[in-house]
Structure 1
Amino acid sequence: MRRPQGIRRRTFLAGTAAGAAVAATAAAPARAAAPTAGAPQARTTAGRVRGEHLGAVEVFRGVPYAQPPVGPLRFSSPRPPRPWDGVRDATAFAAPSLQSVLPGSSEDSLYANVWTPSTSGSRPVLVYIHGGGWMLGAGSMPTYDGARLAERGDLVVVTFNYRLGVFGFGLHEDLADQRTGFAANWGLQDQAALLGWVYRNARAFGGDPENITVAGTSAGGSSTWQLALLPELRSVIRRIVPISAAHVWSPGVALTPEDSRTAFASVAARLGTSVAGLRDVPAATLRDTWDALFAGAPESRALASGREYRGPVVDGHWMRGYDYELPDPGLPVLAVNAATEGSFFTGPGSPVPMQLPSSDAELPEAVRNYLLKGAAEVPAGLPDRLITAYRAAAVAEGRAADPLSLFTEIYGDGLFRYQIVRLAERRARENASAQYRMEFAHPVRAPYFGTPHEATSPFLFGTNAIPENAAEFGDGPLERLVSDTFIDLVSSFAHNSVPASPNAPALPAFSPATASTLVLGGPEVARLASTPKAAQLRAWDQAGWVPAPV
């Protein structure tokens, strides 16, 4: 859900239906690549690209993995990129997908970025899916620079853009693609198409197509889970690393199919056209009209679902159900959460305007308003019961028990921690394939506090020291050691499904009954612990607000 760094908090495989629905028949325009002595090249399935050397790695930016979804292709399934002649320049990032935050965003955004130690060899591929609440972000954001991760981890690292907001997530049958029949979740379709592109092109960048790991944070972490459930990707994805996954459920973070149909019909009516006619509406107008439907407090809107975010809609294919009611993906998993997810929302520069509680008297109303993000009605007494449980747990565990700290923990645990941990526990009970758990707990610097949602990304990518990150995340010897350890854990998992680092104790498979959660960060760097905040999670079991896995 993170707002892009630098705009601090303002913010398939060939043969699948979507990926192979249409053959590319015409040469696509390409940026001419100026001759550069020794510049690395790669031959993709659509044509050759020329990148550049960046220290110990080679980087290719803005490589098309699908045709631009513009004009009649708006709301279409992604089409394979058109081939080009000659060598295409791949030294500049493409525009972010159309959104309201990052400047220069565009519908023409379906491009990938690749960092590799060498275009020769056969090393694991790590595909990273950016977050942003399914409506913001880009794979080109500086925090996601893959150079350090690729070099230290000996990985091919891939980031990319996918369609966002109204262009990427929703459902309406009048928008059905005539070639594939799909009428929903275009952003998820893009992600699946990207994975197909990676499978077909991994060798060109020195990668092993049979060893692809998918990682992502927040909305991107959620996507790793949904993609791993798709039958057409079972032979593509080897393992997943969902980080601070915003697991999908309604009404909190997804529209119901019925509400999605109503939303598209309402937008069309406001713009004086039909739902199918939305393909012809100026992109910015469509974006702004859609966003206006969800302005203001959730209880004031015409639609009862999608109250906080509007991620994938249950459509029977790309999303067969909500995460908590679907089976486990059945792949090796390294599941990660941040220690204080909520402080991203309650700390300085919060992306969510709200009145933060400064006294015990204000705390119940703040909690009630928060609970309205996931329910049309809040039972009498529920805010007080949660507050009582959290205060008792804070005192017992030596945590801060002031109103803002309690509210922060309630906020983050309800939206993120609860389902992350309960899904991991369900998997452990079912004896599924290898699963590991990690809690990232390196504290940020004042005036930020705790370990906020998506504080993980700067340390995974080793970009905590770049100018826009250093003030919050730091760049001392300890921060560099924590980052190196995080990279070791994820890259070793990508190599052989077992996370390991010389700076961390051996991590056993997750078992709720043992000290099998790796806590990363702080002066100890890494330690094993029993599942943190067990008492607080029991309070959510009793609250019945966020659905428990079945």
Structure 2
Amino acid sequence: MKTAGLLLATSCIVSTAAVAATAAPRATTATGVVTGMREATGVKSFKGIPYAAAPVGKLRWAAPQAATKWKGVRKADHFAARCMQLPLFSDMVFRSDGVSEDCLYLNVWTPAKSAKEKLPVLVYFYGGGFAAGDGSEPRYDGASMAAKGVVTLTINYRLNIFGFLAHPELTTESPNRASGNYGLMDQAAALQWVRKNIAAFGGDPSRVTIAGESAGSFSVSAQMINPQAKGLIAGAIGESGSLLGLMGLAPLSHAEKIGADFTQAAGAPTLAELRAMPAQLLLETTKKPGTWFSAIQDGYVIPRPPVDMYAAGEQAKIPLLAGWNSEEGSYKQILGDAAPNDANFSAALEKMYGDQAATAKQVYRGDVVQSATELASDRFIGYSTWKWIDSHARTSGKPVFRYYYTRPRPGQSGATHSAEIEYALGNLASNKVYEWTQDDRDLSAQMQNYFANFIKTGAPNGYALPEWPQVRLEGGTLLMRLGTPSKVIVAADDEHMRFHETQVRK
């Protein structure tokens, strides 16, 4: 009888453990209980959690408001809708539940077995020119990074006219006397949600690294100076781009005029008419060539010119890892349809730089295709990323690590804009377009380990990885060339950047 009782008790314990292992994972947030899913890797995922109220009706073009609490258990087992956007970029693949103004949701992947683990956290902002993108894109999937011991999130934020319209009536209505930058406010609201709730998923709210590519990288540089995100960030990763660019940001007054002129032409000059316009119809008005709404210097989210704020050391004092790719632009962006020869390159420089053309030619000397490619890349992304890295290294007192990514995707000639994303986040298998090789998989494993180490410790270095030195301000900048193979090099573009420093307009 004793043996039978012992067997029965053991059976109950095993049965209970089996049920627990297969039950939907659960977490209790400030707004309610959510259940997620178990990924094949054992990582737990929670998709489509609201971090703010739906920005519709009177909340269209308002600061994000607190999400509504719910009773019972909310299923978080699928991606919510992506924010309003046009189909702009062919490389974007979405798993989201359609398109909607009701889009302020986030997704969490966690390896934590309990809420007590206090694991490091990564919050990733998607790219897309502040006009497109979504946290459901497979290249940003967080399961692979979570398997490295990092609680990983992607978040949705408002885009295009919905996220970045400035307008005199909106400024008057705002208690902060500012308008525009609603998408950046969304990101900060998501970070505030993380501070309040991430412990429920096994994350440490004091160890949050933010990262992003392209507009996502611009966003990282913005949140580092956004008062709404103060104290919420422990580290930053920027892939291609920052707000510290050649042209500077439009001031609020200029952005208000653009917004007022645009909405007048769209047939909805007043704020009431704008808010009454159906979302899809409003989106259609942005199809006009040359229409682009983006981050501005509004005096609130971005209090002053970013280059001045970083120079004064007013940004978050945190470790930074940032860089860009070897072919962010194309030589055709400089030469157009003209043949890539010395005469045509000289003519293009004359048109672009006038009496500075000879200096530009000296700085961008050598093979015309290579020189024009480097110039296009620097004008588009390279200079702004360099300026961010250089300024932060000078004024933050924290470690800064720079990279230069050179590995083309299979079948491509160069490391184009956004080519590194799947490598860095361990998501090569999610992109079926390319026939990845073992060299690709090896580089991806290396990059992901560098990123994971940085998120965990504030430095990318670790076991069996080539040592990645910090940026030094004297004696030549050391950086990691990420490619096949990866190795430390001295930056070869100092002349380029010094030239562009003379071209900057605030």
Cα 1:282–1:355, aligned 2, differ >3 Å: closer, same or farther?
A: farther
- Where does 1:173-188 land on structure 2 (aligned, <5 Å)? 173-176=168-171, 182-188=178-184
Counterpart residue identity of residue 449, structure 2: D
CA change 1:386–1:206 in 2 (3 A) is same
2:125 counterpart of 1:151: no
Q: Give RMSD over aligned pairs.
A: 2.8
What code does the residue aligned with 2:388 have?
Answer: L
Mapped to 2, the partners of 1:148 and 1:276 lie a distance apart of 44
* Aligned residue type for 2:377: G
Deviation at 1:322, TM superposition (A): 3.0
Structure with higher Rg: it is 2
1:478 to 429, 439, 447: 439
Give the aligned partner of residue 7 of structure 2.
Answer: none
Identity within the alignment, %: 29
Q: In the TM superposition, what is the alpha-carbon distance from 1:39 to its structure 2 partner?
A: 1.1
Letter in 1 for 2:415: T
Paired amino acid for 2:254: D
1:17-28 equivalent positions in 2, closer than 5 A: none
Find the partner of 1:316 among 299, 302, 310: 299
Contact 2:42 2:111 in 1 (8 A): yes
Change (3 A) 1:74 1:310: closer
AA in 1 matched with 2:499: A
The verdict on how the C-alpha distance between 1:381 and 1:342 changes in structure 2, with shifts beyond 3 A counting, is farther
Deviation at 1:290, TM superposition (A): 3.5
Q: Distance in 2 between matches of 1:165 and 1:353?
A: 27
Q: Does the Cα contact within 8 Å between 1:346 and 1:356 map onto a contact in 2?
A: no
Q: For residue 39 of structure 1, what is the aligned residue in structure 2?
A: 24
Shift, 1:36, TM fit:
11
The structure 1 residue matched to 2:253, chosen from 258, 273, 278, is 258
1:163, CA displacement in angstroms?
0.4
| Structure 1 unaligned spans of 5+ | 1-34, 296-308, 370-377, 393-400
Q: SS where residue 161 of structure 2 aligns?
A: helix
Asked whether the equivalents of residues 189 and 318 of structure 1 are also in contact (C-alpha less than 8 Å), the reply is yes
Alignment of structure 1 residues 407-446 onto 2, 5 Å = 407-430=372-395, 432-446=397-411
The whole-number CA distance in structure 1 between the counterparts of 2:464 and 2:68 is: 46
User: 2:360 maps to what in 1?
Assistant: 386
Aligned length: 469
The one-letter amino acid paired with 1:47 is G
Deviation at 1:383, TM superposition (A): 5.0
Query: Letter of the aligned partner of 1:118 in structure 2?
Result: A
Whether 1:456 and 2:420 are equivalent positions in the alignment is yes
* 2:35 aligned partner, one-letter code: R
For the 8 Å contact 2:238–2:321, the answer to whether it is kept is: yes
SS at match of 2:428: coil
| More moved, 69-78 vs 260-269 | 260-269
Q: What is the Cα deviation at residue 540 of structure 1? A: 2.5
- Per-residue CA deviation, residues 134-189 of structure 1 (Å, 9 max, x unaligned), is 1111111111111111102x000000110001111132241145566552210011
Moved more, 204-213 or 489-498: 489-498
Q: Distance in 1 between matches of 2:347 and 2:99?
A: 38
Counterpart residue type for residue 490 of structure 2: S
2:482 maps to a residue whose letter is L
- Tell me which of 110, 115, 138 is aligned to 1:116: 110
Cα distance, 1:182–1:48 mapped onto 2, change above 3 Å: farther
**Does the alignment pair 1:529 with 2:503?**
no
Pairwise CA distance, 1:358: 3.1
> CA separation in 1, counterparts of 2:177 and 2:246?
25
What do the CA deviations read for 1:43-89 (whole angstroms, capped 9, x no partner)?
A: 11111111111122111111111111111110011011101121111
Q: 1:48 aligns with which of 17, 29, 33?
A: 33
Q: Distance in 2 between matches of 1:150 and 1:367?
A: 47
- Residues 123 and 208 in structure 1, CA contact (< 8 A), matched pair in contact too: yes
- 1:123–1:207 contact (8 Å) kept in structure 2: yes
Structure whose residues are more often helix by fraction: 2
Distance 1:89 1:368, change over 3 A: farther
Tell me by how many angstroms 1:100 deviates.
0.6
Indicate the SS of the match to 2:288. Answer: helix
Alignment of 1:315-354 (within 5 A): 315-327=298-310, 328=313, 329-343=315-329
Q: Conserved in 2, the CA contact under 8 Å of 1:338 and 1:456?
A: no
**TM-score of the pair, normalised by structure 1:** 0.78
User: Gapped runs of 5+ residues in structure 2?
Assistant: 1-19
Q: Is the 8 A contact 2:50 2:105 kept in 1?
A: yes
**CA contact 2:29–2:197 (8 Å) conserved in 1:** yes
Q: Matched residues in 2 for 1:262 and 1:515: separation?
A: 42
Structure 1 distance, partners of 2:38, 2:450, is: 26
- TM-superposed deviation, 1:438: 1.9
SS state at 2:364 partner = helix
In 2, Cα distance between equivalents of 1:163 and 1:346: 33
Q: 2:127 aligned with 1:167, yes or no?
A: no
Residue in structure 2 matching 1:494, options 427, 449, 455: 455
